[in-house]
Structure 1
C-alpha cells in the first residue's frame, strides 16, 4: 500500500539540505567527475599529434627509417660526410632533424619526405655473391631485380626502394640472408645484443676428428650420414653472429671446412624448396618469427 505522506524526518532532511551551502570543491567534483584523472585522447587525436608535432629524431634513425641503409650503415654514411642537412655536411648521427621540414641529401640524392613502404625478403644466397649495398653485378640485392621490374610497372614514377642485407654472409657461404629496406628491423635482427640464434650446416673434409672440438657456440651436433650428403656434417648454432665467427670456430678447432650454409635466423627457417639465388617475400607471420 502506497504511503499518502513521506516518511517521518524526510521533509526536515530535505529542508536542511536546501539551506546548507554546497562547498565549491564538492560541487566541482559532483558536476565534473574525474577532473583529477589525466585526459583520455582518441586514437585519431594521438595520430594527428604524432604526425604534426612529433619531436625531431636522430639523423641516423631517420635515414634507417627511410630505407637508406641499416642503422649502422646509415651512421657510416654520415661519418663519411655523404649526408647534408639544409645544405651543410653533417657528420654527427645524433643530430636532431625533422623529416617534414629539413632538407636532407644522401650521396647527392634528396631524401623523400614521405617514408617508403617496407619490404622484407628471405633469400637463399649462392656462392660467389657478396652482401653489398653497392651496384656490383654479383651482389645479393641484384638477385631481386626481377621483382622490381614488375613493381616499377605497377608503381610508375615512384622511386625504387633501396634494399640492403640484414647482416652479412661471406662470399663463399650459402644459405639464408634477409633483405629489406627497414633499417630499424635490420638493426634489431643483426645487432649482437639481440641474441638471435643462427643455425648453420657445415660439411667437413673426410678424416677429421669431431671429438675434442673446442668452440663457444650454443650447440654443435654431428649429423648422421645421408645419401645426398656423403661428407661428415655438423649443425652449429651461434647467437652473436659476428663476422666470420663460424669459419673461425671451425678453423680454430682444427677442422677443415668444405662448405658452410646458414639455414635459420631466430625462428625463421630457410624454406627447403627455395633454390639457390631464389627468394620469397616475407609475410606478417614470418616477421613474427624474427
Structure 2
C-alpha cells in the first residue's frame, strides 16, 4: 500500500506542474543535462504572463488508488470509465472540451445505424446511409439532380438530322398554305388567295383559314376538286447560268423555269408516284443581266438566301463601254443612294482587258442586293454598262465549264457555300 500511495503521489506531482514558472527557473530546468527537456507546450505556458487565460477549460480528476487486481475475463469488455474528449466551439466562439459528442453527430450516427439495419433487410437501401451523412453542399447537388430532367436531349449526327428533316419533319402538322405551296399547287401567296376564296377543302369541309394545321399524310385535301397527293416532292436545288434576255417570273414564255421543261417532262420516270416540284428562282436578275442564279422548290431556303438581313455577298463582273479612269473607281467605291438608302459596295477592282475585246471590266461585290444596285453604282460614276454578269453568291462561284442556259444540281456542301459557311 505504501508503494502504491507513493506512485500515486508522484503521478499527481507530474500532472499538476505549476502553470506559472519564472524565466530563470525554466532556464535551469532546460540547462540540466540529466533531466529531460520540457515539451514545447509547457515552455510556452511557462513563458506566458499570468494575466492570459488558457483557451481550453481543461481539468483533471483527482488521482485514485488503483483497484485490486482481478482475474481477466474470458472476453475483454470495453471499460465504462474510458471517455473520448470532444472539442466543441461554443456560442461565444471559444473552444471547450466535452465528454459527450454534439447532438448533430449523435443524430447522424443514429441515422446511419438505422439505415444499416434496413440495409440488412433490403440491400437496395444500402446507398442511402451514406447520403444521410453527406454535407449540405452534396445534399443540394442531389436535389438539383432530382429537379433536373432525367435525360438531356441526345446529339444526333448530320446524317440522322438530314434523315429526320427529309422523312419525318415534313409529315408533322403544318400550315395549310405552306403545305399547298410545298405540294406544287402555286406560290404561298396564291395558295392563301385560293383558301380565302373557299376553293380548298380539308376532310370534306371547306377551309378558309390559311393557318390551319394539317397533316398531308393523314388529311384529305382538295383544291378546285383535285386531290393533293399524300407525298411531297423532294427538295431540289439547282445553279443556273442565266442567259441574257430571260426573266425570273414564272409562267412567262421566256422564263428561266422554261429551261427545266425537258427535266420535268421525264419526272415520272425519275420519281414515279411523286408529284412534280414547283420550281422558282431565289432572288431576281433583270432581263439584261446574265450569270449565276439559284432555282429551288424550298421556300424557307429561298427566303433565307435572298433576304437582305442575311448579308450574303454577291460578286458581279461589269463590262464598261468606254475608258475607265481612277476617279471612276473612286466614285463607285464611295457608293450612291438607292431608294433613299446609301449603298456602298464591298469591293471595286479593275480586271485585265480580254484579248477578244478592248472593253474594260470591273469586279464589284455587294451584300445588300437592292434592285439594280450594281447598275446604279456604275451609272452614278458616269460610266455606261455594256454587260453585267453575276459570278458568285456567298462562297459558291459559277463554274466556267457550265454553259449558258445550263444548270447543275447542288449538293449539301454547295448549299453551305451559298450561305457563306465553310
Same structural fold, with TM-score higher than 0.5 when normalized by the shorter chain? yes
Q: State whether residues 281 and 295 of structure 2, in contact with CA within 8 Å, keep that contact through their aligned partners in structure 1.
A: yes
- Of the structure 1 ranges 13-22 and 120-129, higher mean CA displacement relative to structure 2 is found in 13-22
Match of 1:221 in 2: 349
TM-score w.r.t. the length of structure 2 is 0.53
- Determine whether 1:286 maps to 2:286: no
1:155 counterpart = 2:266: no
Please show how residues 120-139 of structure 1 align to structure 2 within 5 Å: 120-134=237-251, 136-139=252-255
| Residue ranges of structure 2 left out of the alignment (5+ in a row) | 1-77, 79-110, 129-141, 337-342
Q: Structure 1: where are the runs of 5+ without partners?
A: 1-7
Q: 1:244 aligns with which of 372, 382, 400?
A: 372
2:269 maps to 1:269: no
Q: Which residue is equivalent to 1:233? A: 361
Separation in 2, partners of 1:282, 1:55: 26
Which residue, out of 130, 149, 152, partners 1:38?
149
Higher helix share: 2
Mapping 1:2-151, distance limit 5 Å:
17-19=115-117, 36-40=147-151, 56-63=173-180, 65-66=182-183, 73-75=187-189, 77-79=191-193, 81=196, 84=200, 86=202, 88=206, 90=208, 94=211, 96-100=213-217, 104=221, 110-134=227-251, 136-151=252-267
Q: How far has the Cα of 1:158 moved from its partner?
A: 3.0
1:190 is displaced (CA, Å) by 0.9
Q: For residues 173-252 of structure 1, what are the structure 2 equivalents within 5 Å?
A: 173-207=289-323, 209=325, 210-211=328-329, 212-213=331-332, 214-215=335-336, 216=343, 217-252=345-380
Moved more, 116-125 or 73-82: 73-82
The equivalent residue for 2:383 is: 255
2:181 and 2:191 in contact (8 A); partners too: no
Q: Which moved further from structure 2: 103-112 or 163-172?
A: 103-112
**1:67 and 1:182 in contact (8 A); partners too:** no
Runs of 4 or more consecutive aligned structure 1 residues displaced over 3 Å after TM superposition:
13-22, 33-37, 39-44, 54-69, 79-90, 92-113
Alpha-carbon distance between aligned partners in 1 of 2:226 and 2:370, rounded to the nearest angstrom: 32
Alignment RMSD: 3.8
Using the alignment, how far apart are the partners of 1:262 and 1:94 within structure 2?
37
TM superposition shift of 1:147: 2.5
Q: CA deviation at 1:176?
A: 0.4
Contact residue 241 and residue 402 of structure 2 kept, 8 A: yes
Name the TM-score, length of structure 1 as normaliser. 0.74
Range with bigger deviation, 137-146 or 210-219: 210-219
Query: Residue 224 of structure 1 aligns to a residue in which SS?
Result: coil
C-alpha change, 1:14 and 1:65, in structure 2 (3 Å) is: same
Of 240-249 and 171-180, more deviation after overlay is shown by 240-249
Structure of greater Rg:
2
User: Are the aligned partners of 1:64 and 1:184 in contact in 2 as well (CA < 8 Å)?
Assistant: no
Distance in 2 (alpha carbons) for counterparts of 1:226 and 1:65: 45
Query: 1:67-118 CA deviation, whole Å, 9 max, x = no partner?
Result: 556xxx513542575773535474x755544444555556775443432211
**In 1, Cα distance between equivalents of 2:149 and 2:356:** 66
DSSP 3-state at the match of 2:417: coil
> Higher RCO, 1 or 2 (CA under 8 Å, sep at least 6)?
1
